[in-house]
Amino acid sequence: MLTNSRLVHQAHDHGRCINAALSRAEALCTENQARLTPTRESVLRLLWQSHQPLGAYQLQDQLSKQSGKNIAPPTIYRAIEFLLQLGLIHRIASLNAYIGCPFPGSDHSNLFMICSDCGSAAEVSHNSINDLLQSASDKANFTLQGQSLELFGLCPNCAGPKIQLDSQQSQDPSHE
């Protein structure tokens, strides 16, 4: 079972998340003879600035600010497309948003636990879930090729121990 759910919801040295992601990205690019150009790297960095998925136009804003010049949507979408192809990021369909993948390259289930309160999204890969989905597909004679699994609810920080004061942000704003 692979997951980054602990990490996502605890205070941690997030710089390490970013660095690790970039190392993996460089390795994967080399392996695939693809180029991690400045735009692509910037987008990947932005997606790793927090553990919350970002929309394409949020990326556009931030990248435009960073670079001083106005970046148009196609530039963003091209970078997104590239990163998706390599498996470095995922698209979260229900949010029209994108997030870095903590374990690119390895087979995994593309399952997210998305907090309705703080917006964080932790990725989980559970062999037993994959197996079960595969066997359900088999039973239905369905040739499984891909999947998008999104769970909605409250992350440990937002569920409390404080048992939801209101719907105030009670979570630890450790690294944003």
Partner DNA sequence: TCGCGAATTGTTATATTATAACGTAACATG
Partner DNA sequence: CATGTTACGTTATAATATAACAATTCGCGA
Footprint on this chain of Zn ion (rule: CB under 5 A): 14, 17, 115, 117-118, 155, 158
Query: Among 37, 66, 147, 168, which residue interacts with a copy of itself (rule: CB under 8 A)?
Result: 147
- Does 168 help bind a copy of itself (rule: CB under 8 A)? no
- Toward DNA, which CB reaches closer, 48 or 82? 82
Q: Which residues fall within 8 angstroms of residue 48, CB to CB, at 6 or more apart? A: 17, 18, 21, 22, 100
- Look at residue 5 and give the partner it binds from Zn ion, DNA, a copy of itself, none, a contact being a CB closer than 5 to 8 Å depending on partner kind: a copy of itself
Select from Zn ion, DNA, a copy of itself, none the partner in contact with residue 14, using the beta carbon and a kind-dependent cut-off of 5 to 8 Å: Zn ion
- Piece of 13-21, 36-44, 138-146, 148-156 that binds DNA (CB under 7 A): 36-44
Q: Quote the tokens at residue 14.
A: 């997030």
Contact partner, 118, from Zn ion, a copy of itself, DNA, none, Cβ < 5-8 Å per class:
Zn ion
* Tokens at 28, concatenated: 């994967």
CA distance 88 to 143: 25
Using CB under 8 A, count the residues that bind a copy of itself.
37
Query: What pairs with residue 112 in β-bridges?
Result: 123, 150
Closest by CA to 11, choosing from 143, 174, 138, 171, is: 174
**Does position 152 bind DNA by CB under 7 A?**
no
Quick one: which segment of 8-16, 35-43, 111-119, 121-129 binds DNA (CB under 7 A)? 35-43
Among 67, 94, 106, 168, binds a copy of itself (CB under 8 A): 94
Task: Tell me the sheet residues that pair with 2.
Answer: 125
Of 46, 79, 121, 155, the one binding DNA by CB under 7 A: 79
How buried is residue 96: exposed, middle or buried, by Cβ count under 10 Å (0-12/13-18/19+)?
Answer: exposed
Place of tokens 């079960």: 132
How far apart are the C-alpha atoms of 40 and 32, rounded to whole Å?
A: 15
Out of 10, 19, 23, 96, the only residue in the binding site for DNA (CB under 7 A) is 96
